Structure 1
Amino acid sequence: MGVQGRIDPTAKVHASAIIDEGATIGANCDIGPLCTVGPDVKLGDGVVLKSHVVVTGDTEIGDETIVFPFSVIGEIPQDLKFSGEDTKLVIGKRNRIREHVTMNTGTAGGGYVTRVGDDGLFMAGCHVAHDAQIGDNVILVNNVAVAGHVVIEDDVIVGGLSGIHQWVRIGRGAIIGALSMVTADVLPYALVQGPRAELDGLNLVGLKRRGVARSDITALRAAFLTLKQGEGSFQDRAKRLSEETDSTFVREMVGFVMGESDRGFLTPK
């Protein structure tokens, strides 16, 4: 069952679960049947492993996260360059990680850490690869594949069976339609859809649901049209917007465009 004192006395551990020595199990955790927890794992308070869950590697899971059956969390990266270096997976609080989800630790080439924020929903069959950086309130619908080094900011929804190419950044509040292959960066608050992932407007439904002021939505729509139809290069249009706008939301979009990109951008058609 592990080293005396490393498992909080309020934790509930099924008799068939295997908790390796060195693992830290927080207060009120519930470890279900046939789960396996490795020696370098740290589970926060109230974490639930339903059954048949594997948590391994140098992995931290935050308070009140629930992991559903047959998920494998913290295994080594699917990267042929990985040579056994010490890397981590850090998962935040109150996430729901559904059946058959896989999340890998980082690599030396990506900063050594794969990181998942708080309050996410990772539906059945999703994969989060090495060195990905996932924000808060992110939803990955069934069978989404997130490649290595991807950055997904807060409040993003990725539709089912979509793939995110390595090194892609997805800005805050964006929504990706189902069956999309995203190969370039996605602007904050953007709507992306189609098999080859085309930028198709703003995520107006998401903005309204979050209570964004009409004036900010109007400013974002005007900014989008400027990026789509203005003179000069995409970067030139974004730079002009930064000098002309007073909207915090537009400034965020412009800052994203002006930031470092390894993949370029999906641009308005």
Structure 2
Amino acid sequence: MTLIHPTAIIDPAAQLDPTVSVGPYAVIGPHVRIGAGTTVGAHCVIEGRTTIGRDNQIFQFASLGAVPQDKKYAGEATELVIGDRNTIREFCTFNLGTVQDAGVTRVGDDNWIMAYVHIAHDCQLGSQITMANGVTLAGHVQVGDWATVGGLVGVLQRVRIGAHAMVGFAGHVNKDIPPFMVVDGNPLVVRGVNLVGLRRRDFSAERIAAIREVHKLLYRQGKTLEEARQGIAALATEMPAAAADVAQMDAFLDSAASGIAR
């Protein structure tokens, strides 16, 4: 208990591992569970049915597990689930899910989430994501592993950002962003392939070459989406080292109900 500041208010029903550190004036509600090694900064409020994993760093003034900003919400027992080793900086706001979706807002592992980021109800975030200051995700947004989202980006409801994609500063994201692409602007424009990110993650030359071919098929040859997808599917045979990347792109395009940024 020496890790809990005496001014912190923690409901007796909350489940905190003995190694959790809680700073001054933090407030933790009765349905909260926090795993080993997690640090909760001063003045944080963690409420609702919120589960937080191991070794997270939650900086001062964050608000996690508040009710959704959704007029349809009527007090249902929905959740916020946060994984392990995430960094959550100052003034972030993560909301509970709603029964209109799966009922859970989910954040994966090893994410770097900077100040003033808002993650609305029912968002689904993967792992190893970087979000710069002031990113705002509307409800039901999905963000894939290793995505990078620049400062002051706004993302429309139900839009998806694919794995390894990068969104530039102040982008207006109103269409799905395919994996591996770099986009920015308002209106949103696809600029190319996230080559710097892929090289940092040790993608082989053959995998990167295949992804560049995917980009050409989607954005540089005047093809319809269906024509581009036929060419993309053929790359799995032509460049077998990239078969998994091609399959990932094909699956993403197959479920792009609201259309992709093109």
Query: TM class, shorter-chain normalised?
Result: over 0.9
**Equivalent residue number for residue 197 of structure 2:** 206
Matches within 5 A, 1:34-183: 34-183=25-174
Tell me the amino acid that sits aligned with residue 252 of structure 1: Q
Given that residues 56 and 74 in structure 1 are in contact (C-alpha distance below 8 angstroms), is that contact kept between their aligned partners in structure 2? yes
Query: TM-score, normalising length from structure 2?
Result: 0.95
Please state how far the C-alpha of 1:180 moved relative to its aligned partner.
Answer: 0.3
Please state how far the C-alpha of 1:49 moved relative to its aligned partner.
Answer: 0.7
Given that residues 77 and 130 in structure 1 are in contact (C-alpha distance below 8 angstroms), is that contact kept between their aligned partners in structure 2? yes
| Match 1:253 to one of 235, 249, 252 | 249
Given that residues 118 and 136 in structure 1 are in contact (C-alpha distance below 8 angstroms), is that contact kept between their aligned partners in structure 2? yes
Which range moves more in the overlay, 147-156 or 193-202?
193-202
- In 2, Cα distance between equivalents of 1:97 and 1:196: 29
Given that residues 41 and 61 in structure 2 are in contact (C-alpha distance below 8 angstroms), is that contact kept between their aligned partners in structure 1? no
CA root-mean-square deviation: 1.3
Secondary structure of the structure 2 residue equivalent to 1:110: coil
- In 2, Cα distance between equivalents of 1:94 and 1:34: 23
Deviations 1:30-83 (A, max 9, x none): 011000000000000011011000000000011010111111000000011111
Tell me the amino acid that sits aligned with residue 209 of structure 2: T
- In 2, Cα distance between equivalents of 1:239 and 1:83: 46
Please state how far the C-alpha of 1:231 moved relative to its aligned partner.
Answer: 6.2
Number of matched pairs: 257
Secondary structure of the structure 2 residue equivalent to 1:13: coil
Gaps of 5+ in 2: none
Query: TM-score, normalising length from structure 1?
Result: 0.92
- In 2, Cα distance between equivalents of 1:221 and 1:261: 20
Given that residues 125 and 144 in structure 1 are in contact (C-alpha distance below 8 angstroms), is that contact kept between their aligned partners in structure 2? yes
| Match 2:258 to one of 255, 260, 263 | 263
Secondary structure of the structure 1 residue equivalent to 2:100: helix
Given that residues 167 and 262 in structure 1 are in contact (C-alpha distance below 8 angstroms), is that contact kept between their aligned partners in structure 2? no
Please state how far the C-alpha of 1:235 moved relative to its aligned partner.
Answer: 2.8
Given that residues 52 and 83 in structure 2 are in contact (C-alpha distance below 8 angstroms), is that contact kept between their aligned partners in structure 1? yes
Q: Does 1:238 align with 2:207?
A: no
Given that residues 217 and 231 in structure 2 are in contact (C-alpha distance below 8 angstroms), is that contact kept between their aligned partners in structure 1? no
**Equivalent residue number for residue 3 of structure 1:** none
Given that residues 77 and 104 in structure 1 are in contact (C-alpha distance below 8 angstroms), is that contact kept between their aligned partners in structure 2? yes
Secondary structure of the structure 1 residue equivalent to 2:183: strand
Given that residues 217 and 223 in structure 2 are in contact (C-alpha distance below 8 angstroms), is that contact kept between their aligned partners in structure 1? no
- In 1, Cα distance between equivalents of 2:54 and 2:222: 50
- In 2, Cα distance between equivalents of 1:170 and 1:15: 42
Gaps of 5+ in 1: 1-8
Which range moves more in the overlay, 238-247 or 208-217?
238-247
Which range moves more in the overlay, 224-233 or 104-113?
224-233
Secondary structure of the structure 2 residue equivalent to 1:249: helix
